[in-house]
Structure 1
Amino acid sequence: MPHLTVKHFPRDVGDQQRKQLAEELTALVVRHFEVPEGAVSIALEQVDQSSWNDAVIVPEIIGREHLLIKAPNT
């Protein structure tokens, strides 16, 4: 049961973009994990840019590099 969370800033995406993003990410997960489409869930979480370091970098990236399949360019 794959679940993706995409945290992002600074702009929000409209309903059509959200739908397209969900469809494309779902197709990738289905293909790579060989699961049915209904097994995939996706969350889209907008994070304020001023909170990015505390909300994303520190808890999600620093010390968890072994889990990253793509690291940010810093």
Structure 2
Amino acid sequence: MPHIHVRHYPRNFTEEQLRAIDEAVTAAVTSTFATGEDTVSISLEPVTPEDWDSQVLAEIAARRDELIKAPGYWNES
């Protein structure tokens, strides 16, 4: 606890970029949840643009009550 799962368009991250994501997300989560770094896990899942709407946007729409930030591209109508 807590686990952060990030879905994104496919791309190759450098080790430096992965380290930066790890450090930034871990800092935000440990501060907000008042927990130690050893309790945080982070995963990255690439999703193709062709699958984004059916896999990610559909979940966002189905779980909108859990969102703390909606994507700016999302038209809820």
What TM-score do the two structures reach when normalised by structure 2? Answer: 0.87
1:25 partner letter: V
- Residue in 1 that maps onto 2:12: 12
What is the count of residue pairs matched by the alignment? 73
- Identity between Structure 1 and Structure 2 (%): 41
Q: Where in structure 2 are there 5+ consecutive unaligned residues?
A: none
Residue 38 of structure 1, CA deviation: 0.1
Q: How far apart, in 2, do the equivalents of 1:66 and 1:51 lie?
A: 23
- Residue in 2 that maps onto 1:71: 70
Q: Secondary structure at the match of 2:5?
A: strand
1:47 partner letter: V
Q: Is the contact between residue 12 and residue 46 of structure 1 (CA under 8 Å) also seen in structure 2?
A: no
Q: Where in structure 1 are there 5+ consecutive unaligned residues?
A: none
Superposition pairs of residues 1-74 of structure 1, within 5 angstroms? 1-58=1-58, 60-73=59-72, 74=74
Deviations 1:11-63 (A, max 9, x none): 332221011101110000000000010000000111111111111111x2012
Q: How far apart, in 2, do the equivalents of 1:14 and 1:44 lie?
A: 13
What TM-score do the two structures reach when normalised by structure 1? Answer: 0.90
Residue 10 of structure 1, CA deviation: 4.4
Q: Is the contact between residue 2 and residue 39 of structure 1 (CA under 8 Å) also seen in structure 2?
A: yes
